């Protein structure tokens, strides 16, 4: 009897532990909000179900709140269901040339002037963005140098932005005997350029999404805060394979003949802007909701030669609903692995297609193994695109 009772409590403990683990897993891993077009789009694990919640919508168009139930009995949290129209977009894969001008002038490092550093003494740090000198706005390297040279005061009033906060410091330039002029001891940058990949395009609004990750300064690692930017077509002329822990990269040239546009924002999930009637001969595809993305086979559209994208097989191995590294992908295409070894820098933004839908875009390569990388949900990029246009998902729907 005692042995049977002990076995029962052990069994009960194991079952309770498993239920607690599942409850914690689903509570942490499932999104707090799901978009859907029809009830069939609401896909959950077989052990989960939905029940009405006591919370009621604040308005007729507000998301519906449901309780998530484990085994139809144990609540694991609440989820918001928001009905919307299915969006269709034209997937990209084309290489794009990217040119950015910063808001202000980015400090990339400090230097000595006659054995001292006026900028450091003033409290300026790498990563700071200088926006004005003596009350005059500066947008280029030349403007900041001219403002310091022409200052008729011993100190120059410098307004800068650090960690999204505006600060004012006072810098006393030192006279450089070598250069014969006043110097601040600053190395700065006002622009950035490179090659990436177009993720998707919405013809009705002429809006595009690309990269899937922010453009950051190569020296400071800080996100580039842009005043304006542009994109143009590009042609891939070659590439460097990964070596050790150094990622490989695409090499190319800008080509403004077949694609031109403006970048409106650079943010944590890519670049977004407008294109002027790009020559993309490709049919629109439905954009997948997050819950429709599956572990399994998929394809990426990317370009490793010229300007015409090709399809390559890959596999989605992990899905994460938090942050922007939502997908872990592995390149399985033998031709691509033989040619490049896997994912290269410059492929960021390459569309990921699964079951005929755009599910995401490649964002990063894993340095330890270039055949693997990360991707972002296409739904996340679309939401950012909608915020750029000030329009809802409904207004971006086009005929398939």
- 302 and 329 share a domain? yes
16 inside domain: no
Q: How many domains does the chain have?
A: 3
pLDDT of residue 221: 73
Domain end position, chosen among 133, 154, 184: 184
Q: What is the CATH classification number for the domain harbouring 153? A: 2.30.42.10
**14 part of a folded domain:** no
- Residues in contact with 343: Cβ distance below 8 Å, sequence separation at least 6, in sequence order: 331, 362, 364, 365, 366, 370, 371, 372, 373
| Predicted confidence (pLDDT) per residue in 86-96, tens digit | 889 999 999 99
For residues 123 and 34, state if they share a domain: no
We report the CATH number of the domain holding residue 230 as: 2.40.10.120
Do 172 and 245 lie in one domain? The reply is no
The answer to whether 348 is a known catalytic residue is: yes
Do 215 and 268 lie in a common domain? yes
Please list, in sequence order, all residues whose beta carbon lies within 8 angstroms of the beta carbon of residue 260, skipping any fewer than 6 positions away.
230, 231, 232, 233, 275, 276, 278
Write the pLDDT tens digit of every residue in 314-348: 999 999 888 889 999 999 999 999 988 889 999 99
Residue 11: inside a domain, yes or no?
no
Annotated catalytic residue, options 333, 350, 370, 393:
333
Question: Of 348, 350, 370, 393, which is the active-site residue?
Answer: 348
**Any catalytic annotation for residue 112?**
no
Q: Which domain holds residue 162?
A: 112-184
pLDDT in tens, 37-80: 666 666 666 666 566 665 555 555 566 776 666 666 666 666 67
* 239 and 222 within one domain: yes
Determine, yes or no, domain membership for 215.
Answer: yes
From 184, 211, 227, give the residue that closes a domain. 184
Q: Is residue 77 located within the same domain as residue 146?
A: no
Task: Determine which one of 102, 128, 151, 213 is catalytic.
Answer: 213
Same domain as 210, residue 172 = no
pLDDT at residue 397, as a whole number: 39
Kindly state whether residues 203 and 125 are assigned to the same domain: no
Residue 305 forms part of a structural domain: yes
Q: Check whether residue 74 and residue 138 sit in a common domain.
A: no
Residues 6+ positions from 350 with CB-CB distance below 8 Å: 92, 93, 197, 199, 300, 301, 302, 309, 361, 362
pLDDT tens, residue by residue, 227-262: 788 888 888 998 888 777 778 888 888 877 778 889
Mean predicted confidence (pLDDT) in 276-281: 77
- Is residue 5 in some structural domain? no
The pLDDT value given to residue 26 = 45
Q: Which of 163, 184, 205 is the last residue of a domain?
A: 184
Q: Please report which confidence band the pLDDT of residue 398 belongs to, taking 50, 70 and 90 as the band edges.
A: very low
Given a cut of 60, whether residue 20 has pLDDT beyond it is no
Say whether 364 is catalytic: no
Question: Per-residue pLDDT for 154 more than 90?
Answer: no
Q: Are 214 and 131 within one domain?
A: no
Indicate whether 104 belongs to any domain. no
Q: Quick one: 221 and 322 in the same domain?
A: yes
Between 8 and 125, name the one with better pLDDT: 125
Asked, for residue 342, whether it belongs to a domain, the answer is yes
Sequence-distant (6+) residues with CB within 8 A of 265 are: 226, 271, 272, 273, 384, 388
Flag the least confident range among 29-33, 36-40, 177-181, 213-217: 29-33
Count of all residues that appear for the chain in the document: 400
Tell whether 135 and 179 lie within a shared domain.
yes
Q: Are 301 and 311 in contact (CB under 8 A)?
A: yes
């Amino acid at each position: 009897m005692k042995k049977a009772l002990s076995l029962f409590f052990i069994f009960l403990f194991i079952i309770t532990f498993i239920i607690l683990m599942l409850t914690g897993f689903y509570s942490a891993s499932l999104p707090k909000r799901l978009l859907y077009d029809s009830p069939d789009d609401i896909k959950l694990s077989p052990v989960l179900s939905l029940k009405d919640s006591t919370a009621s919508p604040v308005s007729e168009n507000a998301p519906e709140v449901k309780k998530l139930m484990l085994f139809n009995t144990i609540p694991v949290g609440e989820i918001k269901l928001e009905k919307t129209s299915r969006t269709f977009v034209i997937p990209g894969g084309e290489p794009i040339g990217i040119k950015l001008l910063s808001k202000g002038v980015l400090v990339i490092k400090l230097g000595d002037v006659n054995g001292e550093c006026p900028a450091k003494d003033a409290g300026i740090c790498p990563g700071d963005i200088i926006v004005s000198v003596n009350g005059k706005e500066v947008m280029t390297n030349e403007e900041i140098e001219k403002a310091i040279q022409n200052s008729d005061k011993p100190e120059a009033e410098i307004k800068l932005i650090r960690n999204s906060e505006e600060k004012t410091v006072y810098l006393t330039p030192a006279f450089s005997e070598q250069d014969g002029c006043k110097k601040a001891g600053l190395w700065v940058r006002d622009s950035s350029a490179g090659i990436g990949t177009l993720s998707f395009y919405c013809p009705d609004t002429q809006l595009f999404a690309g990269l899937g990750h922010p453009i950051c300064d190569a020296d400071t690692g800080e996100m580039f805060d842009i005043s304006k930017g542009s994109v143009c077509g590009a042609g891939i002329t070659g590439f460097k394979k990964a070596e050790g822990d150094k990622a490989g990269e695409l090499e190319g040239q800008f080509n403004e003949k077949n694609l031109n546009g403006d970048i409106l924002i650079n943010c944590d999930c890519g670049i977004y802007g407008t294109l002027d009637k790009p020559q993309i001969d490709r049919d629109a595809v439905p954009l997948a909701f997050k819950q429709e993305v599956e572990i399994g086979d998929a394809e990426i559209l990317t370009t490793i030669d010229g300007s015409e994208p090709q399809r390559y097989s890959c596999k989605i191995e992990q899905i994460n609903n938090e942050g922007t590294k939502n997908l872990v992908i592995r390149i399985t295409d033998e031709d691509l692995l033989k040619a490049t070894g896997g994912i290269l820098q410059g492929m960021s933004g390459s569309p990921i297609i699964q079951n005929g839908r755009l599910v995401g875009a490649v964002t990063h390569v894993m340095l330890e193994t270039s055949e693997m990388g990360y991707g972002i949900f296409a739904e996340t990029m679309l939401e950012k695109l909608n915020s750029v246009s000030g329009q809802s998902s409904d207004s971006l729907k086009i005929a398939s």
